[in-house]
Amino acid sequence: MAVTRAGFIGLGIMGAPMAANLIKAGFEVTVWNRSPSRTQPLLDAGARAAHSPSAVAAASEVTFSCVTNSGDVEEVALGPEGVIHGAQPGSIYVDCSTISPETARKVSHELAVRRVGMLDAPVSGGDVGAIAGTLAIMVGGEASVFERCLPLLHAMGRTVVHVGPIGAGQVVKLCNQVAGGLNLLAAAEAVNLARRCGVDPAKMLEVVSAGAAASWMLSNLAPRAVKGDYAPGFMVDLMQKDLRLVLDAAGQTHTPLPGTALVSQLFQSIQAEGRGADGTQSLVDAIAKLSR
């Protein structure tokens, strides 16, 4: 039977527009957020409020979460008021956070005991993609569970790919953060070279973004930095959390990632200035400071 009732836990920069797109697609949506004030725009759009993650799960056939880190996922899924205590047998939990693959596998195992399915489905595309419903969603879990959730995932994302068993979604997201971080470093270096050589970086970006060096970072984040706009689509602190997961996985598998380690160090220099809440486009400033 088609899913009609969805839940969403975690209504931050990414979660709120993702939940809004589920409402727009016609699903009955129940929401919960640690800060209740963030639920009001979704309630105005037709969502229902729940008092806990377990209550969201009790009202939903498929419950989504998009929270900060591995510990937060364990809390909302397995904690005293977690999804596990409200989810009915046969229901599904889909976590869209970026966490360690090991945490995804642990939560899935605990939920399976209650006959609750799980997908790990981290997303990429930033706040722009979350608002537009054009996210890339990389999904790990059983194929039959994935197929059942496809209509909901397509309400939030343009590219939805089943990449393997539980935990595989998180591995692919870590790969995404490697490529994204290095693309952003390339954009930051290009902007600073243009400036140092007396060329308008906005003009440089206009033409380079249309050629072989084009990337999402070059088209979306570099122009913000050129304008001095450091509002976060994705905060430096969160990127650093993800890069720690990347480097942990690299250490466990003896995989050398020298470029990623450099990007993490440059972001650390931004954090040392107290700018961890800035958007990741602030990497342009970190490169600029090397020239001073």
* Interatomic CA distance for residues 161 and 278, integer angstroms: 30
Which residue, among 281, 286, 66, 289, has the nearest Cα to 180 in the 3D structure?
Answer: 281
Please provide the DSSP assignment of 45-97 as one string: TT-EE-SSHHHHHHT-SEEEE--SSHHHHHHHHHSTTSGGGTPPTT-EEEE-S
Which residue, among 173, 178, 270, has the nearest Cα to 225 in the 3D structure?
Answer: 270
* Interatomic CA distance for residues 281 and 185, integer angstroms: 9
CB 25, CB 54: distance < 8 Å: no
Q: For 168, phi and psi rounded to 5 degrees? A: -70, -35
Helix (H, G, I), strand (E, B) or coil at 235: strand
CB atoms under 10 Å from CB of 20, counted, come to 24
CA-only gyration radius of the chain, Å: 20
The helix or strand, by DSSP H or E, that contains position 205, with its residue range, turns out to be helix 201-208
CB 115, CB 91: distance < 8 Å: no
Longest dimension (CA), the chain: 64
* Interatomic CA distance for residues 205 and 101, integer angstroms: 36
Per-residue pLDDT in tens (0 to 9) along the chain, 292 residues: 789 999 999 999 999 999 999 999 999 999 999 999 999 999 999 999 999 999 999 999 999 999 999 999 999 999 999 999 999 999 999 999 999 999 999 999 999 999 999 999 999 998 889 999 999 999 999 999 999 999 999 999 999 999 999 999 999 999 999 999 999 999 999 999 999 999 999 999 999 999 999 999 999 999 999 999 999 988 999 999 999 999 999 999 999 999 999 999 999 999 999 999 999 999 999 999 998 7
Catalytically active residues are 173
